[in-house]
Amino acid sequence: MAKAPALPLVAICGRPNVGKSTLFNRIVGKQRAIVHSEEGITRDRTYGTAEWLGKKFRLVDTGGVVENPLDPVSHKVQEQVRAALEEADAIIFVVDGQQEITRTDEELRDELFKYGKPVFVAVNKLDNERLQINLADFYVLGLGEPLPVSAGHGLGIEDLVRAVIGVLPENARAAAEEHEPGTKVAVIGKPNVGKSSLVNAILNRERTIVDEKPGTTRDAIDIDFVWNDRAYVLIDTAGMRRKAGIKEAVEHFSVSRSLRAIRRADVCLVLIDATEGVTEQDKRILSYVRENGAGMVLVWTKWDLIEDKDRRFKELAEEMNLKAPFLNYVPSITISNITRQRLFKIFDLVDMVRAESEKRITTPDLNRFFEELRGQEAAGSQKGKRAKVLYGTQTGVKPAAFLLFVNQKRLFHFSYLRFIENRLRERFGFQGVPLRLELREETRERR
């Protein structure tokens, strides 16, 4: 498997609630990581790309380092932190400038020495001159000159970044120019449907934390991946439960990030549990993806748990036709994260849907199609007046959008518009891609 050219990587670490995610967002210049007063919000590694003083680099935010992790998720968070530190070219060690140095700070300091990498101590929350006096207390860490910052107020950030990029490899610009962004693939679905397990199975390593407890994934996580020399960005997302089921404030942020991931994706993999079938929440998620114009692949998960596979596949197809007939253009695949069955066939469908989403139909071809359509009997009519598409043109891609000039808009019942969409698909394809049809009345009919 080939690897995409990588920019230099800087890891941010520290104990919980010292401001790591706020600093991460400040440096990348976007609200990428969730920030909340509750401890332990960041669990997986969150990556972003930053450019300062003409130099590009990657930044990774990590979960809080704790002394004695008590539950399985906390243990996995600590493993994710160490994986980021191993991978990094330089490390930003964030401490709380309004508190004394703790034993956890000292133990993490001792561990950072062992990596043999450049470490920069960012003393955060020094929001005013009165607090700046606290900076002297952090020289005792023995990691060089501590740098005062206030991530919340944006103070001292440039001095910190200037020091960090001074030790990064010089090939950053060349790597940035070589690197082309891959197809963005959002992995979405209800909680516990197997999203993070799918990502880990594809990567063949535990890149994201998996646990039986719903809500383990909280942020949308971008992961670069190359398969058959084709680049992708896998976006692992938090489970999308219905509004009434959201009890914690942080979950509102998580769902918001999942919805944003749908909007920025080239293709969405919508995961549905094959043992459950299509639920009302699955229908809501499918509808949201369609409304936002994203390409879509339906992925039936947990296929290893199905005994009579032929019968179940037929049942699921009938269920989709009954509950979501408006999605008959979406390709589907059955997979197992446990046996890794058909995992990489997903990317054949992703590539196909991505190509379909970028397809353009020439105006002459489109108008020949509408000439043929006018001769068919399915058109709506009212008081002897038939609906006619006089001519049309494609106005956009992602999603495919068409402007149709018609005789009278009121004659175009939704069922006739569905008929037009189905005929367009029969002629031109657009598999996995929603179509947008805009009607505009032409005052004078063409002869």
Q: pLDDT value at position 266?
A: 94
Q: Phi, psi (5° rounding) for residue 43?
A: -120, -55
Would you tell me how many other CB atoms lie within 10 Å of the CB of residue 14?
A: 25
Residue whose pair of structure tokens reads 């997979």 in the numeric block: 335
131: DSSP letter:
H
Q: pLDDT value at position 403?
A: 95
CA dist., res. 242 & res. 379, Å (int) = 39
Domain covering 363-441, topology: GMP Synthetase; Chain A, domain 3 (3.30.300)
Q: Where in the chain is the domain with CATH 3.40.50.300?
A: 9-177, 180-356
Region 318-340: mean pLDDT is 92
- Between 175-189, 208-222, 325-339, 410-424, the lowest mean confidence (pLDDT) is in 208-222
Q: pLDDT value at position 260?
A: 81
CA dist., res. 332 & res. 304, Å (int) = 16
Q: pLDDT value at position 31?
A: 52
pLDDT tens column, 99-147: 999 999 999 999 898 888 999 999 999 988 788 888 989 999 998 899 9
pLDDT tens column, 366-389: 999 998 887 665 555 555 578 889
Strand order in the sheet with 389-396: 389-396, 400-406, 435-441
pLDDT tens column, 269-315: 999 999 999 999 899 899 989 988 999 999 999 999 999 999 999 99
Q: Which of 260, 320, 324 is nearest to 292 (CA)?
A: 260
Using 50, 70 and 90 to split pLDDT, how confident is the model at 243? low
Q: pLDDT value at position 333?
A: 96
Tell me: pLDDT of 3 over 70: no
Question: Any idea what the Cα angle at residue 65 is, between residues 189 and 59, rounded to 5°?
Answer: 65
Using 50, 70 and 90 to split pLDDT, how confident is the model at 255? low
**CB within 8 Å of 216: residues ≥ 6 apart:** 43, 73, 196, 209, 210
Tell me: pLDDT of 256 over 60: yes
Tell me: pLDDT of 413 over 90: no
Region 26-50: mean pLDDT is 62
Tell me: pLDDT of 32 over 70: no
Q: In this prediction, what percent of the chain has a pLDDT beyond 70? A: 80
Asked if 90 contacts 112 with a C-beta cutoff of 8 angstroms, the reply is no
Identity of the amino acid at 171: N
For domain 180-356, is the CATH number 3.40.1190.20?
Answer: no
Q: pLDDT value at position 80?
A: 80
pLDDT tens column, 72-84: 666 777 788 888 8
Q: Please state whether beta strands 55-61 and 46-52 pair in parallel, antiparallel, or not at all (unpaired).
A: antiparallel
Q: Where in the chain is the domain with CATH 3.30.300.20?
A: 363-441
Q: Which residue has the higher pLDDT, 30 or 9?
A: 9
Would you tell me how many other CB atoms lie within 10 Å of the CB of residue 188?
A: 29
- Between 7-11, 203-207, 428-432, the lowest mean confidence (pLDDT) is in 203-207
Q: Which of 388, 194, 395 is nearest to 299 (CA)?
A: 194
Q: HSE-up of 354 (CA within 13 Å, CB side)? A: 18
260: phi > 0 → left, psi -120 to 50 → alpha, else beta; which? Answer: alpha
Q: Please state whether beta strands 381-382 and 385-386 pair in parallel, antiparallel, or not at all (unpaired).
A: antiparallel
For domain 9-177, is the CATH number 3.40.50.300?
Answer: yes
Using 50, 70 and 90 to split pLDDT, how confident is the model at 405? very high
